[in-house]
Amino acid sequence: AHDFNAATMLILEPGSTFKILTLAEALERGKAEVGEQINSSGTLTYRGVTVHDAHPVAGAVTQERAIAESSNVLAATWATRLGREGMRSFLARSGLTSPTNIGLPRESRGSYIASDQSISQTMVMGFGQGFRSTPLAFLSAFSAIGSEGRRIVPRLINKIDDRLIQPVKQDQLFRPEIANYVLSLME
């Protein structure tokens, strides 16, 4: 339809870009350490569930390499360390499963299958599958990486005449040092 706004109405799995947020949350919660390396074969089997890298990221894998080469295995490792409730809590706290309330009509909300208690759901959430979000909600959550850990809640109007409209709120998702560290890995 001509009035469809993909930013607020489309819901999709964010995919590999989410690995950055999984790492930041694992660091924030003490489930990973800055600079930690994880030995990987490019495949991870945990409680009978196996995930693979698209191309094997093997050996002693640094966090920088895991992000640069988009390792599903390391993202799944961080997610399993956070656990099902840790991942679900992060989705809620970061606004990924809520409307942004930006003020546009018919805004969608993200979701995941709450009745799914499998470890596989937790593992794939680590690399951006198994849940859905709107592009705007994902952008809001991701903004914390570039703003010293503060999630910027989107708004439609930045300025009226010369008066700047301040953001409604900024949630601190990560400590500044965590956000800045993960940002440096992205660079």
Catalytic residues: 16
What span, in angstroms and rounded, lies between the C-alpha atoms of 138 and 100?
10
Tell me the C-alpha to C-alpha distance, in Å, between residue 179 and each of 91, 138, 144, 173. 17, 16, 7, 9
Question: What CA–CA distance (Å, rounded) separates 111 from 137?
Answer: 12
Are the beta carbons of 61 and 39 closer than 8 angstroms? yes
Exposed/middle/buried for residue 142 (C-beta within 10 Å: 0-12, 13-18, 19+) = buried
The total number of residues shown for the chain amounts to 187
Show Cβ contacts of residue 39 under 8 Å, excluding neighbours closer than 6 positions: 59, 60, 61
